């Protein structure tokens, strides 16, 4: 039976995604083809596609058509786990062996009741001491949220509206891309090099009307950039001409990033700094700290009070106990050193074969390849799971793959690189000679 309205057609596509008939990344028929299949006008189907795109369920790129978002905001069947024996270099997880063990935490203690302080005071003091030590971030106003993405979404909700432009890194963290699209915001690409966002790219985004920019100061995912002092100064010069732009910094890797923090927030009137603990204390804690100007923090806290109210005091207390335990400092130092060794070993092996690589900091290495889909599939056959680069782009970019190094021992890096070499140029010794 023909579906005559755009809402009906959008609901039918949504149902197919929920049922698993259309998986993440699946291409949708062209407007004319789908109109013919369902007996509707092309304008009706186009309206349905616009609704799905506005909700972040589908995405489109120039001259490439429409496809299901990699993480649509729907309950859809889980992606199958990796085949046995495949080495996971795709998920972005930290090495569990380099996380503090939760047995370090004593008994849970008393729980928060209605009306109690929403922030566990020792955790607040710990975070303030950590950030103020480098005098990079002001710590007067803060709150606790359920992870970095929860914080970023709430900050955006406090300052932008549907249809507003937001500057995001390109390539950038895929979950941020999905969230921005699901909120109906228009991404303005911020190009990168090893020192962070390029000033001319930031200037272009601001000139295009970006109401906010989301920037990763170090351990940028997937590119591995870390903002230098010189780059920070150049970016500040751009931002000084746009005082209305909200600067949001996502310091997800914190002390294990391998680089000192360089922040853009000091002189801003509207800003937020999100410090997650997931990569270095444990993803399951779902704890991140948000620092910002008084208005931003007040707006986010007020909206939070209307929803969940607060982040579990049990989770906050566990984060504090793990962070403050006498063994944690040495464990974080070991993790920083080990991740740096693993990252550098892979980069050196790739450079030796002529690959173009980025990865100054963090848990990921970005490797340019001629055909990322082909390379990803062939590496999986050879026992390695990596992420395809287009997953991290909002606008067309150089084909690449993201390799998570957190559980790749230095001794295994040459074998992975040899597999890449054989896939791309069988019988040769260099890729980009």
Q: Do residues 274 and 284 touch, judged by C-beta distance below 8 A?
A: no
Q: Are residues 270 and 353 in the same domain?
A: no
DSSP 8-state code for residue 231: H
The string of pLDDT tens digits covering residues 215-231 is 999 999 999 999 999 99
Check whether 87 has a pLDDT greater than 80: yes
Q: Are residues 312 and 377 in the same domain?
A: no
Q: Which helix (H) or strand (E) holds 59?
A: strand 58-61
Look at strands 288-292 and 271-276 and give their pairing: antiparallel
At 394, the pLDDT band (50, 70, 90 cuts) reads confident
At 107, the pLDDT band (50, 70, 90 cuts) reads low
Q: Are residues 340 and 314 in the same domain?
A: no
**Arithmetic mean of pLDDT, 144-169:** 96
User: Could you give the percent of the chain with pLDDT greater than 90?
Assistant: 69
Q: Are residues 91 and 120 in the same domain?
A: no
Check whether 3 has a pLDDT greater than 90: no
Task: Report the SS3 class of residue 88.
Answer: strand
Q: What is the pLDDT of residue 186?
A: 93
Q: Which helix (H) or strand (E) holds 306?
A: helix 294-306
C-beta neighbour count of 114 within 10 angstroms: 6
Domain boundary among 302, 324, 346: 324
Q: Please give the tally of structural domains in the chain.
A: 3
**Arithmetic mean of pLDDT, 377-392:** 94
Domain boundary among 269, 289, 324: 324
pTM attached to this predicted model: 0.87
Domain boundary among 289, 324, 359: 324
Closest CA to 379 of 363, 358, 357, 401: 401
DSSP 8-state code for residue 24: T
Residues 124-148 as b/e (b if ≥16 CB within 10 A, e otherwise) read bebbbebbeeeebbbbebbbbbbbb
432 part of a folded domain: no
Q: Are residues 278 and 338 in the same domain?
A: no
With tokens 């303030």, the residue in question is 128
Sequence-ordered list of residues with C-beta below 8 angstroms from that of 121, at least 6 positions apart, any chain: none
What is the rounded distance in angstroms from the CA atom of residue 191 to the CA atom of residue 356?
Answer: 17
**Arithmetic mean of pLDDT, 381-390:** 94
Q: What is the pLDDT of residue 432?
A: 45
Q: What is the pLDDT of residue 79?
A: 60
Q: What is the pLDDT of residue 76?
A: 67
At 131, the pLDDT band (50, 70, 90 cuts) reads confident
Q: Are residues 193 and 242 in the same domain?
A: yes
Q: What is the pLDDT of residue 94?
A: 94
Task: Report the SS3 class of residue 251.
Answer: coil
128 part of a folded domain: yes
Task: Summarize the chain as % helix, strand, coil (round to 5).
Answer: 40, 15, 45
What is the rounded distance in angstroms from the CA atom of residue 41 to the CA atom of residue 32?
Answer: 8
At 206, the pLDDT band (50, 70, 90 cuts) reads very high
The enclosing domain of 412 has a CATH number of 3.90.1150.10
Q: Locate 214 and state its tokens.
A: 């989301």
Burial of residue 165 (number of CB atoms within 10 Å: 0-12, 13-18, 19+):
middle
Task: Report the SS3 class of residue 349.
Answer: helix
Q: Show the domain range for 54.
A: 6-68
Q: Do residues 251 and 218 touch, judged by C-beta distance below 8 A?
A: yes
The string of pLDDT tens digits covering residues 260-294 is 999 999 889 999 999 999 999 999 999 999 999 99
359 part of a folded domain: yes
At 134, the pLDDT band (50, 70, 90 cuts) reads low
Q: Are residues 368 and 415 in the same domain?
A: yes
Q: Are residues 204 and 345 in the same domain?
A: no
Q: Is the peptide bond before 174 cis (omega within 30 degrees of 0)?
A: no
Q: Are residues 122 and 264 in the same domain?
A: yes
Extended strands (E) in 362-404: 364-368, 384-385, 387-388, 400-404
Of the candidate ranges 2-11, 20-29, 86-95, 363-372, the one whose mean pLDDT is the lowest: 2-11
Check whether 78 has a pLDDT greater than 70: no
Q: What is the CA radius of gyration of the chain?
A: 22
Q: What is the pLDDT of residue 317?
A: 92
429 part of a folded domain: no
At 82, the pLDDT band (50, 70, 90 cuts) reads confident
């Amino acid at each position: 039976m023909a579906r005559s309205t755009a809402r009906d057609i959008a609901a039918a596509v949504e149902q197919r995604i929920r049922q698993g008939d259309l998986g993440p990344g699946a291409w949708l028929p062209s407007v004319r083809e789908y109109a013919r299949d369902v007996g509707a006008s092309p304008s009706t189907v186009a309206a349905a596609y616009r609704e799905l795109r506005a909700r972040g369920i589908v995405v489109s790129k120039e001259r490439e058509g429409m496809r299901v978002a990699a993480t649509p905001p729907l309950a859809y069947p889980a992606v199958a786990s990796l085949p046995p024996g495949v080495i996971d270099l795709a998920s972005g997880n930290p090495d569990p062996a380099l996380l503090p063990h939760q047995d370090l935490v004593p008994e849970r203690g008393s729980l928060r009741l209605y009306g109690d302080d929403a922030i566990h005071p020792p955790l607040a003091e710990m975070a303030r001491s950590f950030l103020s030590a480098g005098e990079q971030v002001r710590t007067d106003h803060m709150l606790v949220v359920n992870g970095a993405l929860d914080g970023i979404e709430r900050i955006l909700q406090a300052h932008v509206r549907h249809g507003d432009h937001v500057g995001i890194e390109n390539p950038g963290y895929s979950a941020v891309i999905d969230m921005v699209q699901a909120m109906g915001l228009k991404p303005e690409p911020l190009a990168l090099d090893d020192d962070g966002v390029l000033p001319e790219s930031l200037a272009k985004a601001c000139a295009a009307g970006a109401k906010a920019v989301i920037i990763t100061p170090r351990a940028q995912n997937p590119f591995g950039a870390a903002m230098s002092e010189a780059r920070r100064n150049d970016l500040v010069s751009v931002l000084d001409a746009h005082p209305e732009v909200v600067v949001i910094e996502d310091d997800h890797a914190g002390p294990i990033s391998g680089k000192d923090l360089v922040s853009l927030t000091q002189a801003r009137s509207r800003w937020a700094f999100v410090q997650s603990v997931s990569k270095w204390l444990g993803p399951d804690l779902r704890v991140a700290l948000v620092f910002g100007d008084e208005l931003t923090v007040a707006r986010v806290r007020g909206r939070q009070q209307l929803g969940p109210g607060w982040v579990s005091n049990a989770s906050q207390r566990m984060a504090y106990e793990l962070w403050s335990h006498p063994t944690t400092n040495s464990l974080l130092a070991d993790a920083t050193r080990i991740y740096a060794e693993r990252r550098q070993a892979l980069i050196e092996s790739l450079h030796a074969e002529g690959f173009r690589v980025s990865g100054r900091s963090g848990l990921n290495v970005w490797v340019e390849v001629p055909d990322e889909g082909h390379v990803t599939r062939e590496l999986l056959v050879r026992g390695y799971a990596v992420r395809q680069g287009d997953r991290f782009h909002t606008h067309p970019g150089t084909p690449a793959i993201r390799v998570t190094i957190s559980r790749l021992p230095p001794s295994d890096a040459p074998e992975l690189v040899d597999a890449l070499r054989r896939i791309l140029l069988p019988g040769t010794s260099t890729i980009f000679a």
